[in-house]
């Protein structure tokens, strides 16, 4: 029986064979929830840290009340879960559209498990959103994004049963579609 840390090391090494064993052992829900929760906490707490520095640059202000910080963190976690659900839905639609497996939940849970690859993005993204213009941070964010995309790619590929070429196509269409949404939203 494998442990959480052993399974996550395999996920981070792009080992798509670990996903079926996680699912068979009944750990997919737990791992998915843990990884999405930690991602949400990392981003929310990092955002609190970097937004405080941004607010201090604007001039003297009152400190953010403690209860407001709790609500901010809770909202950050909720946004992470909504982002996870939305991304899983898009990935499922586009993988299913080119012949992937019909079931939605394996894509949903494998994406949640692969959220561990997104953890390094959270503080970097929060720092950039907080106004940091450090070029090294942008390079790190770019490299970490490519790595995270690889982790998500193999998790989704395992759930959908697609070939590398079909999965690359589905991932490209998903990225294009989500990018268009974000462009229109922002």
54-98 confidence digits (pLDDT tens) = 566 655 567 777 788 898 899 999 999 999 999 999 999 999 999
- 103 or 51, higher pLDDT: 103
Reported as a pLDDT band with limits 50, 70 and 90, residue 46 is very high
What percent of the chain has pLDDT above 70? 93
The pLDDT of residue 52 is 67
- 184 or 96, higher pLDDT: 96
What does the domain layout of the chain look like in residue ranges? 11-185
123-139 confidence digits (pLDDT tens) = 999 998 888 888 999 99
The pLDDT of residue 162 is 93
- 106 or 1, higher pLDDT: 106
Cα–Cα dist 125/80, whole Å: 13
C-alpha to C-alpha distances, 183 to 18, 94, 154, 167, 178, nearest whole angstrom: 35, 20, 26, 24, 9
3-38 confidence digits (pLDDT tens) = 999 999 999 999 999 999 999 999 999 999 999 999
- Report which of 79, 85, 145 is spatially closest to residue 112, judged by C-alpha positions: 85
The pLDDT of residue 121 is 94
Reported as a pLDDT band with limits 50, 70 and 90, residue 148 is very high
Average pLDDT over residues 154-180: 93
The pLDDT of residue 182 is 76
Report yes or no: 40 and 76 within 8 Å, Cβ to Cβ.
yes
**Radius of gyration of the CA atoms of the chain, in A:** 18
The pLDDT of residue 48 is 87
Reported as a pLDDT band with limits 50, 70 and 90, residue 172 is very high
């Amino acid at each position: 029986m494998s442990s959480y840390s052993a399974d996550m090391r395999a996920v981070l090494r792009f080992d798509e064979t670990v996903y079926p064993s996680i699912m068979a052992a009944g750990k997919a829900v737990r791992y998915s929830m843990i990884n999405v929760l930690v991602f949400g906490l990392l981003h929310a707490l990092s955002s609190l840290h970097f937004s405080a520095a941004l607010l201090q640059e604007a001039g003297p202000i009152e400190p953010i009340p403690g209860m407001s910080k709790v609500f901010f963190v809770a909202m950050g976690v909720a946004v992470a879960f909504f982002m996870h659900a939305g991304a899983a839905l898009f990935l499922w639609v586009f993988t299913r559209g080119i012949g992937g497996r019909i079931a939605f939940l394996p894509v949903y849970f494998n994406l949640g498990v692969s959220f561990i690859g997104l953890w390094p993005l959270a503080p970097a993204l929060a720092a950039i959103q907080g106004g940091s213009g450090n070029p090294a941070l942008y390079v790190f964010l770019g490299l970490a994004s490519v790595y995270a995309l690889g982790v998500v790619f193999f998790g989704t590929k395992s759930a959908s049963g697609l070939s590398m070429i079909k999965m690359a196509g589905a991932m490209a269409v998903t990225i294009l579609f989500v990018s268009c949404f974000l462009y229109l939203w922002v």
